[in-house]
Amino acid sequence: MVWQPFGKHVPAAYQTSYRVARILLELLLLAIAIHYILSVIYPTLSFSFDFRAPNSLKNNLDEPRLADGSPLLNGKVAAGNVLFADLSAFGNFSQAEAEIDLAENSDLPKELTLSLRRSYRSFFYPTGEPVKTFPQAVLYRVSDTYYELRENILYPFVSAEAFHSRYPESLAQTSSDSLLQKYPVSDQWLGYRVGSLLGFADGVFIVTSETEVRPIASASIFLALGYDFKDVKPVSEEEMGVYKRGRIILRSIAHPDGTILLSKDDGSYLIIENKEKRPLLPSAYRDFLLQEMTPIVVSEGEGNERAECAFESPAGSRKLTCRTPLVAMADNFGDDYELQIKNIDRPLSIDVLSLSLSESKNKENLFSFLIDLRNRIYSRFNYAPQP
Amino acid sequence: MPPSPKKMSRKIFLFKRDLLFVYHALLSEFLLWAFLGFLALMTFDTIVPNLVSIKMVMTLYFLVLTAGTIVLVFLSRFLDISYERGFPLQKTFLAASYLWLGAVMVISLLRFPNWSLPLFIFGFAGVLFLFSRVFLTRKN
């Protein structure tokens, strides 16, 4: 017997039509439910930038720019130039699909190539000068307080732990109280080394500058950034009080200054500073930093792997599309993608640039989703996540 | 002899009215599943925050449910359809609902400071009581 609680008022003449319509309705609802469940398990993430509304909050392709690094906000790219943009997406994506909507007045390109590479965003920075020594600083210890002398002003450290996150004890000259008579003492406190991970209350924060910390939204984002929980330093309310709190980190970001990377290809170390990755040469400084922080593993080889495709458009259309598999980059370190539009053979005026990343419906991605789900449930109930 | 215009319009009216019973039954069934789906999604989102709400605007979903319910109420009145109070396994259903409500509430309040918990619990119970007074009390 079919369960039919609502059909008893339907006139007899319409019972058959009602039954057919009911089956169709239930099939439609079932299809919607299955489609929704599949889209949660195997998500397709979409990113776009509308050059007609460059300040729109909907734009989630980050920092569109030209080859020289200058920001691109009007969508106009000269022939021979290259358009860059970044995006962050956690997941095992197997395919990328890009679309370019050209403005009415734009030339139609004969050839145009999409190129994607995947690593950590900070690893895409250009390589800078090598570093070998501690940052230049004049340091004092007066009883239990540490100070740094900058432009004849003494800046106190908020705690001994904050000092030791930046310098070893041996660099501090022990001095008497007379030092405090000699130089004025700033009311600005110095905190932990930029790039440190701080644990306060239930949260983990990254020190992103001398005055700012940013909370990390979840354990999965923390792990996706390549960090290690054992590097999180528990801090007091007083130590946290030195910083103002910046925006919550909801997806991958470029690692802040002070982050150490380890290239698995040749075992070399790099440190992020001022939007450059600088080789960290063997030295006391490097040894000190490695005691403070587990380096984030990267790979030069993987960072240079690219997925590419040529844009195509139906005749007469101003919409260019291209699709490329990402399988070769599936095991790369990092969840950031750098997008390049290159081989631009004539001036382009782009209205909208969009890119979507989709996952294959396979067993590996299903297990990956289930493991992530388990970790998120653990995290919700205050269990340690299992990487 | 062809039917008079008055008879024709009455026939059309009856035809349309009969169809409305079909629409009413389909809308009722749609809303039943939609409410159950909403309940399931809310539960998932409570256990794993953002699992659902990152992909779906729950407010919009709720607005669709509310609009559908209002249409159903008007349709029921127009067609003079009423349902008897009570249904099989009502007590079991109510017990399960209270259990679900309690569990969702406990999970939702996990990260809040202890002092605020009574405020939330009594506030929620108060709102629930007022709603039940407004919607479930039988008018004499």
pLDDT per residue as tens digits for the range B9-48? 666 666 678 889 999 999 999 999 999 999 999 999 888 8
Alpha-carbon distance of A122 to A255, in angstroms, equals 6
pLDDT value at A387 more than 50: no
Using CA atoms, how far apart are residues A109 and A90, in angstroms rounded to an integer? 32
Q: How confident is the model at residue B8 (pLDDT cuts 50, 70, 90)?
A: low
Residue A101 pLDDT > 70, yes or no? Answer: yes
A380 touches chain B (CB under 8 A): yes
**Rounded distance between C-alpha atoms, residue A23 and residue B127, angstroms:** 38
pLDDT at A218 (0 to 100): 82
Which of B18, B26, B111 is the closest to A21 by Cβ? B26
Q: Which of A9, A33, A377 sits opposite B21 (nearest CB)?
A: A9
User: Mean pLDDT, to the nearest integer, of A124-137?
Assistant: 91
The CA distance from A131 to A27, in Å, is: 64
Tell me phi and psi for residue A13, to 5 degrees.
-65, -25
When mean pLDDT is compared across A56-65, A292-301, A374-383, the lowest value belongs to A374-383
Residue A63 pLDDT exceeds 70: yes
Tokens of A344: 């631009």
Q: What is the pLDDT of residue A252?
A: 77
Is residue A146 within 8 Å of A160, Cβ to Cβ? yes
| Cβ contacts of A185 within 8 Å, gap of 6 or more | A147, A153, A154, A155, A156
Q: Strands of A296-298's sheet, edge to edge? A: A276-280, A269-273, A260-263, A296-298
> What's the length of chain A?
387
Provide the sign of the torsion angle of the four alpha carbons A106, A108, A110, A114, taken in this order. Answer: positive
Would you say A152 and A183 are in contact if contact means Cβ atoms under 8 Å apart? yes
Whether the model clears a pTM of 0.95, i.e. scores above it, the answer is no
Cα separation, B62 vs B47, whole angstroms:
19
Residues in contact with A328: Cβ distance below 8 Å, sequence separation at least 6, in sequence order: A305, A307
A202 at interface of B, judged by CB pairs closer than 8 A: yes
Q: How many Å lie between the alpha carbon of B97 and the closest alpha carbon of chain A? A: 20
Instruction: Check pLDDT > 70 for residue A256.
Output: yes
Contact A140, A172 (CB under 8 A): yes
Distance separating alpha carbons of residues A102 and A52, to the nearest angstrom: 11
- Across the interface, of B21, B32, B111, the residue whose CB is closest to A11 is B21
Inform me whether the pLDDT recorded for A250 exceeds 70.
yes
Assess whether pLDDT exceeds 70 at residue A192: yes
In angstroms, rounded to a whole number, what is the distance separating the alpha carbons of residues A254 and A49? Answer: 19
Q: For chain A, what is the mean pLDDT?
A: 90
pLDDT band, very low/low/confident/very high, at B110 (cuts 50, 70, 90): confident
Residue contact A380–B21, C-beta within 8 A: no
Query: What average pLDDT is seen over chain B?
Result: 84
- Asked if residue A1 has pLDDT above 50, the reply is no
Checking if the pLDDT of A382 tops 80, the result is: no
Helices (H), A160-283: 160-164, 178-182, 219-224, 237-240
Residue B5 has pLDDT above 70, yes or no: no
- B58 three-state secondary structure: helix
How far is CA A335 from its chain centroid? 7
**Overall average pLDDT of the A9-36 stretch:** 92
State the average pLDDT over residues B102-111: 86
